[in-house]
């Protein structure tokens, strides 16, 4: 028997303030099962060849508009089958949520770039960036704990990634390396509100206190990343949460601290998103946060997500 999902009252109330009458639809989507999706790994296989193999299994694959190699997958008992195929174990495809593919697509790393993924594990976005870079250029994939690094290294090896160096460091101190990067991804640890469709337990530890604590960690992490960004460099900050304190509040913090930072409007083909919030809980944010993207579950049938694109002048 399927377990009933119970959303915290405070959680429901806080998003009613933002969404108003649409809050009911948002909450309904939070309780829906998440549609499965994969990314074809062209470092290991030809996309059309892999698609043919998967379609021969009876799978229905629908392109994800904002990622050329991303597909929603439907089929009988698909959740059980996705991680139990030869193609999966060979690294021909990677199981990755559709909204997780957005940050690399916004950052757009190229073969010439020196890239930092400051909180990289388990490596979904690192592998996607390596694929976009055709295994050229260089990525520094960093994380703070050994257990997380093991998963990161396993996934990168499985995907055939060879342009990436794995490092172990608290991202909040990475600026001390004095390294400078063309492009940086800060996919920050967060309260994970947006992942409830995949794992309903994500909200079991949810609280306003947790949000306040994590937002402080995120500010220090993003601050460190900004210090590592070259002039004219691009930085993408993302979270899988919808809490303004962890999103617009963090971007507002670095915009106030660094006068040479600006926000670039997020725009991807086929992606429905809403502007960042200018105010929350009595606090007014820098007007430029409206250029950030709020991705609500009900808009694209995905997880909840937030993405901001920053450029250093």
What is the topology classification, in CATH, of domain 20-95?
Answer: Alpha-Beta Plaits (3.30.70)
Query: Collapsing DSSP states into helix, strand and coil, what is residue 303?
Result: coil
Q: Are 163 and 127 in contact (CB under 8 A)?
A: no
162, 148 Cβ separation under 8 angstroms: no
pLDDT of residue 1: 41
From the CB of residue 227, how many other CB atoms can be counted at a distance below 10 Å? 15
Backbone angles phi, psi at 34, to 5 degrees: -80, 135
Query: Ramachandran region of residue 282, left (φ > 0), alpha (ψ -120 to 50) or beta?
Result: left
Using an 8 Å Cβ cutoff, are 57 and 74 in contact? Answer: no
What are the two backbone dihedrals, phi and then psi, of residue 72, each rounded to the nearest 5 degrees? -75, 145
**Do 100 and 124 form a contact (C-beta atoms < 8 A)?**
yes
pLDDT in tens, the chain (313 residues): 455 667 889 999 999 999 999 999 999 999 899 999 999 999 999 999 999 999 999 999 999 999 999 999 999 999 899 999 999 999 999 999 999 999 999 999 999 999 999 999 999 999 999 999 999 999 999 999 999 999 999 999 999 999 999 999 999 999 999 999 999 999 999 999 999 998 878 888 899 999 999 999 999 999 999 999 999 999 999 999 999 999 999 999 999 999 999 999 999 999 999 999 999 999 999 999 999 999 999 999 999 999 999 999 9
Q: Answer whether 224's CB lies under 8 Å from 177's CB.
A: no
Q: Hey, which residues are catalytic here? A: 240
Q: Tokens at residue 284, please?
A: 């007014």
**Domain map of the chain by residue range?**
20-95, 100-312
Place of tokens 């947790």: 210
Is the Cβ–Cβ distance between 76 and 36 less than 8 Å? no
DSSP H helical ranges for 31-110? 47-55, 78-82, 86-89, 102-107
The C-alpha R_g of the chain, in whole angstroms, comes to 19
Strands 293-295 and 274-275, sheet pairing: antiparallel
Q: CATH 3.40.50.150: does it fit domain 100-312?
A: yes
Q: CA dihedral defined by 129, 131, 134, 137, rounded to 10 degrees?
A: 20
Displacement of CA 290 from its chain's centroid (Å): 19
pLDDT at 37: 98
> For the chain, what is the largest distance between any 2 Cα atoms, rounded to a whole number of angstroms?
56
Angle at 8 between CA 6 and CA 10, to 5 degrees: 155
Q: Is 280 helix (H, G, I), strand (E, B) or coil?
A: strand
Q: How far apart are CA 45 and CA 40, in angstroms?
A: 8
Please state, as a whole number, how many other Cβ atoms lie within 10 Å of the Cβ of residue 147.
Answer: 9
């Amino acid at each position: 028997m399927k377990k009933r999902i119970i959303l915290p009252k405070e959680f429901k109330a806080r998003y009613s303030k933002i969404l108003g009458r649409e809050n009911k639809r948002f909450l309904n989507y939070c309780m829906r099962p998440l549609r499965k999706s994969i990314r074809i790994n062209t470092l290991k296989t030809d996309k059309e060849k892999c698609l043919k193999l998967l379609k021969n299994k009876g799978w229905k694959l629908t392109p994800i508009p904002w990622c050329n190699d991303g597909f929603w997958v439907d089929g009988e008992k698909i959740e059980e089958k996705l991680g139990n195929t030869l193609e999966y174990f060979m690294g021909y495809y990677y199981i990755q949520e559709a909204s997780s593919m957005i940050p690399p697509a916004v950052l757009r790393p190229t073969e010439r770039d020196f890239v930092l993924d400051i909180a990289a594990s388990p490596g979904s976005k690192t592998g996607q960036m390596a694929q976009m870079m055709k295994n050229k250029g260089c990525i520094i994939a960093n994380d703070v704990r050994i257990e997380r690094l093991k998963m990161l290294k396993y996934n990168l090896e499985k995907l055939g990634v060879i342009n990436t160096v794995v490092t172990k460091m608290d991202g909040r101190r990475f600026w001390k390396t004095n390294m400078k990067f063309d492009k940086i991804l800060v996919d920050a640890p967060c309260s994970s509100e947006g992942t409830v469709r995949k794992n309903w337990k994500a909200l079991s530890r949810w609280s306003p206190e947790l949000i306040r604590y994590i937002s402080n960690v995120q500010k220090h992490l993003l601050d460190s990343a900004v210090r590592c960004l070259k002039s004219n460099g691009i930085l993408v900050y993302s979270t899988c949460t919808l809490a303004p304190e962890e999103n617009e509040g963090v971007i507002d913090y670095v915009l106030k601290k660094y006068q040479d930072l600006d926000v670039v409007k997020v725009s991807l083909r086929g992606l429905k998103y809403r502007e960042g919030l200018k105010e929350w809980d009595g606090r007014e944010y820098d007007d430029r946060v409206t250029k950030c993207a709020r991705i609500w579950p009900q808009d694209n049938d995905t997880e909840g997500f937030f993405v901001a694109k920053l450029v250093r002048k």
